[in-house]
Each structure stands twice: as structure tokens, then as C-alpha cells.
Amino acid sequence: MELSRRSFLDAFGVREAASLSAAFVAARGREAAVAEAAAVEAAGDPAEIRISSNENPLGPGPAAMEAFTRAFQDAGRYPTNARPSMGDLREAIARRLSVRAENVALGAGSWELLRSAVRLYTSSSRHLVTASPSFESPEQMAQQLGIPVRRVPVDKEGRLDLEGMARAARWAGLVFFCNPNNPTGGVHSARAVAEFVGRVRRESPETAILIDEAYHDYVTDPGYATSLPLALEHRDVFITRTLSKAYGMAGLRVGYAVGQARTIEAFNRWAITFNQNSLAVAAAVASLGDPAHIDAERARNAEVRRFTTAFFQDRGLRVLPSETNFVLVEIGRPAKDFREACAKQKVMVGRDFPPLEKTHARVSLGTMDEMKRATQVFGAVLGK
């Protein structure tokens, strides 16, 4: 059998992954580390379903895995010397988005880029604006650097409050705009985002805007579109993306930012030296050249999302509208209680997301088979 075909077959098979080594299970990790120590300690049980970190349960696609195995021969070379190189990855991303390489900054996951953005644009007198709840990395970095943070609560539908965030943006250093928003799952339309960006640029021209599109590839709402054109149009407006979600490469650490060349240049200056590993570079380049795989993953996830959403709704529980690979469910009780009860049944769900931690739980979407088993546990735990 050809190497490519063998690698290819490896790309799926989460079900077989259920019979795995403890080492593998131990690796099914966390998205934000802190709150899930208990879950990781519990790892090691092959029957466990980990739907806690918004990972793609299938891992990278076949093209990516084949490239990964081939690239191992260059593992001793710095990622600038390996083939493909970090430069090739930048080019591949640029090609995929029809921009130039100078518009693309690489990160060790978008995590690095979110943190760099806080460093680049905020200070003790220029605050960070974020939603509450939203992805925590920018806020955590701001706290570490002693930078003030303005948190703008999401609306009742869990969507970012555009009016409130625009007002909070005056004199801010940076607005973190997660679209779709993690952990609430909803999106704003291309038009709404454009109006928001236009308003902030008018009212607070020195404020940078980071539009995090980590879940871009999972969106099915036709009103949504990437904010890439806004990033190219405005200085200090930029998008971030990650290959940790639909591309299934959370363990490989590839993210990127796109914006005007002068905006991106600063990210590259601050980047971790050699922030890509050469195996991931090869996998990412191959994956970016295989859009059909992402289309298939989006369709797979959308079907699981419909199933999971319907499960909760049929039992009278509100699910915030999700365009991602997770759902935030109003379970009407503390997430911690729900999480611990599920964990006893070997189903690991998301951490607390204040200020919604007393009422809402975030459930990532596994495979359909995993969700069928997980929903049985949810039904038992919730008494529904």
C-alpha cells in the first residue's frame, strides 16, 4: 500500500481511537488549561468522550497527514530550512486568501498572535475591550501586563453587543472581536461587522481591532463573511485564524494573522523565533491545498450540530445559536455540577465561562457517534 493511502486512512478513525493507549488519551487536552485539571487527571480511560476544547475529533485531513509523515526527514532542520519552509507556509496562506505573503503573520497557534496584539496595541492608558464571555487569551495577557480591561456583556442571544463595544472602544488600544464568538457560538453578519469597524475607526481612530475568526471554517450562515477585506482596507484592523479547529491541527500549533503589510510587520517583529514546527508547516501547506476536506468537515460538523441542538431543544433547554463546533446550552444549573456529573459518566464538557457559569454549559461537538452517546449521558444527568 502506498504511503499516501496508508496515511490517508489514518486521517479518520476516531472510533478506533477509542481503543487507545493511555498516552494518547492523556493528550486529549485542554483549550485553556486551568479549569480542566481534573478532567485531564481523569484521562486514560478509552471510553471517555472529550468534548471540552472545541477540537476537531477527526484530526487533520489525509493530505495533511501524508505531508506530515514525509516531512519527518527534515525534523533536524530549522523550519526556515525545511521543505516546505515557514516561508512556503506564508505563501500558501497568502495564495489561499488571495493576499500577499507580506499580509500574513504566522503564530504558534493564534494564541501567540492574540497575545502579541495585546502587547502591541494596549498600555496602562490604552485599555483592552473584550466581550463577556469571550475567548480569554487577550484578557489574560492584559491582566498579566497590568493593562485595564473593559468587558462588554453579550446580549441575550449570546451575541457581541456591537453598540456597547463601540462605546467602550473610545480611547481603547485594542478591541477583541471574536466572530463567531467563543463560547457563545453566534456570528455577526459581514455588514454588521463592517459598520462596527467603520464606526470605531471614525470615533476612535487610534484603536486597533482584532477580529478573531478561529471558527470561520465552521460557519454555515449565509449572512456571514470573513472580515478579511476590512483588514486589508484599514490600518491596525486584522483578522486571526487558526488551524486548530476545522483543520484538525490543535496539537500542531499553527495560526496566522492577516492585515495590511505595515500592521503585520509588527507581529513578525514580535513573533517567537521559529514559531512553526516543520512537520506542522508541511501538514498545513498540504491542508490549505485541500479545501474539499474542509468543506466535508464543515458539513459533518453542521449535521452533528443540528443533532445536538435538537436534542437540547427537544428537552426544553435553550441553545444559543451556534455557527461553530460547540454549543452553549442554558442548562439552568451551575456548569460545574453538570460537568462533574458528566465526567462521572466519562463525558468531558467545557470549563466555566463567567458570568454565565451558573446557568450555561459549553459542549463541544464530537463525532455523531460520540454525540449520540454523550446526549444519553446529558439526558440522564439533566433528568430529561
Q: Scan residues 124-153 and list those touching other proteins (CB under 8 A).
A: 144
Which runs of E-coded beta strand occur in 133-218? Answer: 149-153, 174-178, 208-212
Q: Which is nearer to other proteins, 232 or 352 (CB)?
A: 352
In the list 174, 178, 231, 252, the residue contacting other proteins (rule: CB under 8 A) is 252
CA angle at 29 for the pair 25 and 34, rounded to the nearest 5°:
135
> Where does this chain touch other proteins (CB under 8 A) — which range of 147-155, 257-265, 296-304, 312-320?
296-304
Whose cell is 460520540? That residue is 370
Question: Closest separation between CB of residue 145 and other proteins, Å?
Answer: 10
Q: Which three cell numbers stand for residue 312?
A: 437540547
Q: Which of residues 159-218 bind other proteins (CB under 8 A)?
A: none
Q: Which is nearer to other proteins, 35 or 228 (CB)?
A: 35
Percent of the chain that is helix, strand, coil (3-state, to 5): 45, 15, 40
Residue from 47, 110, 76, 143 nearest 271 by CA? 110
Question: Closest separation between CB of residue 8 and other proteins, Å?
Answer: 8
In the list 178, 230, 250, 264, the residue contacting other proteins (rule: CB under 8 A) is 250
Q: Which of residues 91-130 bind other proteins (CB under 8 A)?
A: 108-109, 111-112
With beta carbons less than 8 A apart as the criterion, state whether 71 and 278 touch: yes
Question: Closest separation between CB of residue 5 and other proteins, Å?
Answer: 8
Question: Closest separation between CB of residue 46 and other proteins, Å?
Answer: 10
**3 contacts other proteins (rule: CB under 8 A):** yes
The sign of the dihedral angle between the CA atoms of 44, 46, 47, 48 is positive
Question: Closest separation between CB of residue 126 and other proteins, Å?
Answer: 16
* Cα dist from 183 to 68, 125, 297, 318, whole Å: 31, 28, 20, 15
**380 contacts other proteins (rule: CB under 8 A):** no
Main-chain phi, psi angles of 203, to 5 degrees: -85, -25
> Where does this chain touch other proteins (CB under 8 A) — which range of 218-226, 257-265, 267-275, 316-324?
267-275
**220 contacts other proteins (rule: CB under 8 A):** no
Q: Which of residues 304-323 bind other proteins (CB under 8 A)?
A: 304
Residue from 189, 71, 214, 76 nearest 134 by CA? 214
Question: Closest separation between CB of residue 245 and other proteins, Å?
Answer: 10
Q: Which of residues 228-247 bind other proteins (CB under 8 A)?
A: 244
With beta carbons less than 8 A apart as the criterion, state whether 215 and 245 touch: yes
Q: Which is nearer to other proteins, 23 or 314 (CB)?
A: 23
**287 contacts other proteins (rule: CB under 8 A):** no
Q: Which of residues 66-85 bind other proteins (CB under 8 A)?
A: 68-84
> How far is residue 166's CA from residue 311's CA, in Å, rounded to a whole number?
36
Q: Which is nearer to other proteins, 303 or 337 (CB)?
A: 303
> How far is residue 330's CA from residue 318's CA, in Å, rounded to a whole number?
5
E strand or H helix at 338: helix 335-344
Question: Closest separation between CB of residue 347 and other proteins, Å?
Answer: 16
